[in-house]
């Protein structure tokens, strides 16, 4: 697959060398001698990849990268920083500026072309989605909300048989994300079919072949588009190249640097959410996006597909799936007394409390209005009931700060709990039982949890 590549370097000999190498592989090459020229060329020519030198007079590579990523017209273009620097602080600074990867001088030709091919495939997918989305934007049904899709709060599946390393990764990532550690690759493949934003796999695992696991994710229609970050030993050059060839999105050297891990995870999650956003808005309005715009939780449409997949897995002999149906008590009174702005404050604060009181494997969703749902994979009814009670106590036990923190408001919730039955593969009966239990909780006095009958 060919591509247009913009090479940016203030040293003409470096530019000519890269231009010759890339041209020999049938890439179209654009060049720029400095940062301002690079920004102008990128805006006018729309390259597929930017190879950007870091050390340039005036505007350095970090600044150019940041400007490219801040511009809606170029933020989707992959940027590879080319540098003689190999320090941890420089890598993290580049990643935080939006860089997709690094190449260290002198450039290894094989790694150069492997990385270019990998990023070209990614860019082609995003370009196709952007072109199809443009029709919706012209009709006025899409208004640029993709810029609000951040890289925090991701659901990360870590696949690693080295327990100490896996636990360290979980501890680092749990600061901003919701990681889950799985040492069994077969169970991990099933988990990856659920609501996951990023898979981190140890390519040097002893008990299984990490690259084969990545290849299996890429061959499955459900997990084909999941971003994969592979932990690798950079001394094993053939495995690095093979990882990129089979579709691994990014590489992280061991031992893992926490700052670099955080930056690379954010980059992959942000890009995944962006591509999800594009896919879900091809022919419809923003209601098809994967997240609720007010609360940041996943929305009802996204939940339906995830819940159905989990129920089908349970029907084939897996663990049951539980659902919590949650309603904020007397929410209409809050809106009537304080106004809809305060009502929105309550919804946002409740969403934060809900997400922080469920497990990493659970899927909290804004179902509509003041109603929320939590999908709980591999969960029996009594376990779901205990978690529901924990959520209820946390909400009722601490007033909500409203009106920019000037006032306190006591809020309670009613929760209905239901779990899937053997062979049940459709979401509707399960949701109906949870909903009925929730209404029973409200009819019984509110601020309580009731488990629905089978």
Tell me the domain boundaries of the chain.
1-137, 148-282, 300-451
Output the pLDDT for position 454: 59
In order along its 454 residues, the chain shows pLDDT tens digits of 578 999 999 999 989 999 999 999 889 999 999 999 999 999 999 899 999 998 888 899 899 999 998 888 888 888 988 887 666 677 788 888 888 888 877 887 877 888 888 788 778 777 766 766 565 454 444 444 444 456 678 899 999 999 999 999 999 999 889 999 999 999 999 999 988 999 999 998 999 999 999 999 999 989 988 999 999 887 888 888 888 888 898 888 888 888 888 888 888 888 888 777 777 665 454 444 577 888 989 888 889 888 988 998 888 888 899 999 999 999 999 999 999 999 999 999 999 999 989 988 899 999 999 999 999 999 999 999 999 999 999 999 999 988 877 889 999 999 999 999 877 888 999 999 999 999 999 999 999 999 986 5
Q: Strands 322-328 and 413-419: what pairing?
A: antiparallel
Q: Which tokens go with 298?
A: 């996943």
Per-residue exposure over 118-137, b if at least 16 CB sit within 10 Å of its own CB, e if not: bbbebbeebeebeeebeebe
Output the pLDDT for position 293: 82
Architecture of the domain made up of 1-137: 3-Layer(aba) Sandwich (3.40)
- Residue among 99, 115, 121, 92 at smallest CA distance from 275: 121
Tell me which residues are annotated as active site: 370
Rounded Cα–Cα distance for residues 372 and 354 (Å): 9
- Residue among 303, 264, 276 at smallest CA distance from 149: 276
- Which residues does residue 291 pair with via DSSP β-bridges, in sequence order? 298
Would you call 182 helix, strand, or coil by DSSP?
A: strand
The pTM of the full predicted model, rounded to 2 decimals, is 0.54
Reported as type and span, the H/E element at residue 347 is helix 340-356
| Long-range contact pairs involving 71-75 (C-beta distance under 8 Å, separation at least 24) | 71/39, 71/43, 72/144, 72/147, 73/43, 73/46, 74/42, 74/43, 74/46
Would you call 322 helix, strand, or coil by DSSP?
A: strand
Architecture of the domain made up of 300-451: 2-Layer Sandwich (3.30)
Instruction: Tell me if 1-137 shares its fold with 300-451.
Output: no
Phi, psi of 161, rounded to the nearest 5 degrees: -90, -5
The CA-to-CA distance between both ends of the chain, in Å, stands at 55
Q: Which CATH entry fits the domain spanning 148-282: 3.90.660.10, 3.40.50.2300, 3.40.50.300, 3.40.1110.10?
A: 3.40.50.2300
Contacts for 102 with CB less than 8 Å, ≥ 6 apart:
80, 81, 82, 83, 91, 94
Would you call 286 helix, strand, or coil by DSSP?
A: helix
Rounded Cα–Cα distance for residues 362 and 355 (Å): 9
Would you call 32 helix, strand, or coil by DSSP?
A: strand
Q: In 329-425, where do the E strands start and end?
A: 363-368, 371-376, 400-402, 407-409, 413-419
């Amino acid at each position: 697959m060919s591509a247009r590549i913009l090479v940016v370097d203030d040293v003409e000999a470096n530019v000519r060398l890269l231009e010759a190498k890339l041209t020999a592989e049938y890439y179209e090459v654009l060049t720029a001698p400095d940062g301002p020229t690079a920004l102008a060329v990128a805006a006018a020519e729309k390259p597929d990849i930017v190879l950007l030198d870091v050390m340039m007079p005036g505007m350095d590579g970090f600044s150019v990268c940041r400007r490219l990523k801040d511009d809606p017209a170029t933020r989707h273009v992959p940027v590879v920083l080319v540098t003689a620097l190999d320090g941890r602080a420089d890598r993290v600074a580049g990643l935080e500026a939006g860089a997709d990867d690094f190449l260290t001088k002198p450039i290894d030709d094989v790694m150069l072309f492997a990385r270019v091919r990998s990023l070209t495939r990614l860019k082609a997918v995003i370009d196709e989605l952007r072109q199809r989305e443009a029709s919706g934007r012209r009709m006025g049904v899409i208004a640029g909300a993709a810029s609000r899709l951040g890289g925090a709060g991701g659901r990360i599946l870590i696949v690693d048989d080295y327990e100490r390393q896996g636990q360290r990764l979980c501890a680092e990532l749990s600061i901003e994300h919701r990681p889950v550690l799985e040492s069994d690759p077969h169970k991990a493949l099933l988990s990856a079919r659920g609501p996951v934003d990023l898979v981190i796999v140890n390519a040097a695992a002893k008990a299984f072949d990490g690259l084969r696991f990545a290849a299996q994710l890429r061959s499955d229609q459900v997990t084909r588009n999941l971003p994969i970050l592979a932990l690798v030993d950079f001394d094993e050059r053939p495995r690095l190249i093979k990882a990129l060839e089979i579709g691994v999105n990014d590489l992280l050297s061991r031992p893992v640097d926490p700052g670099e891990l955080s930056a690379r995870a954010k980059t992959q999650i942000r890009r995944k959410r962006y591509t999800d956003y594009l896919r879900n808005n091809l022919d419809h309005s923003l209601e098809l996006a994967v997240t609720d715009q007010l609360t940041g939780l996943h929305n009802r449409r996204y939940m339906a597909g995830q819940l159905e997949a989990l129920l089908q897995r349970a029907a084939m002999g897996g663990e049951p799936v539980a659902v919590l149906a949650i309603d904020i008590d007397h929410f209409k009174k809050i809106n009537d007394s304080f106004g809809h702005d305060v009502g929105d404050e309550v919804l946002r604060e409740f969403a934060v409390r809900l997400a922080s009181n469920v497990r990493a494997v659970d899927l909290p969703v804004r179902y509509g209005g003041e109603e929320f749902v939590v999908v709980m994979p591999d969960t029996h009814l009594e376990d779901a009931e205990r978690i529901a009670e924990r959520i209820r106590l946390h909400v009722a036990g601490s007033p909500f700060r409203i009106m920019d923190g000037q006032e306190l408001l006591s809020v309670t919730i009613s929760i209905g709990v239901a779990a899937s039955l053997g062979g049940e593969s459709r979401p509707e009966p399960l949701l109906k039982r949870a909903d009925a239990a929730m209404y029973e909780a409200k009819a019984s006095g509110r601020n309580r949890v009731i488990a629905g009958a089978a």
